[in-house]
Amino acid sequence: MRVALTSAAEADLAAVLEWYDTQAPGISPRFLDEFEALFGRLATNPRQFPVVHHDTRRAGFRHFPYGLFFHLGHESVVIFACLHASRDPAHWQLRG
């Protein structure tokens, strides 16, 4: 299945990587590796991730407190947010 990121999700990802670069140097590559693995899991079987609100699903990272929020279409997955688990759900609900 095709997986795409919205510009907002791309900005989220860039902000996370920048934060890790300044706060915990050396962690960014590990975060990016986990993101790529999660991206691959979304392409293979996006239905393995739970619905968290209406038609929005969340794919959680294994070693980082982040989640990818996405919508599942007939032939594609659209990731619209990459957010820390402690963020107010209203933040991603406004996007989705």
Per-domain residue ranges of the chain: 2-95
What CATH number does domain 2-95 carry, 3.40.50.2000, 3.40.50.1370, 3.30.420.40, 3.30.2310.20?
3.30.2310.20
**19-76 tens-digit pLDDT:** 999 999 899 999 999 999 999 999 999 999 999 988 999 999 999 999 999 999 989 9
Joined tokens for residue 65: 């407190």
Compute the average pLDDT of residues 76-86. Answer: 93
Q: What is the pTM of this model?
A: 0.90
The DSSP line for the chain is -EEEE-HHHHHHHHHHHHHHHHHSTT-HHHHHHHHHHHHHHHHH-GGGSPEEETTEEEEE-SSSSEEEEEEE-SSEEEEEEEEETTS-HHHHHHH-
- Helices 28-44 and 7-23 meet at what angle, rounded to 10? 150
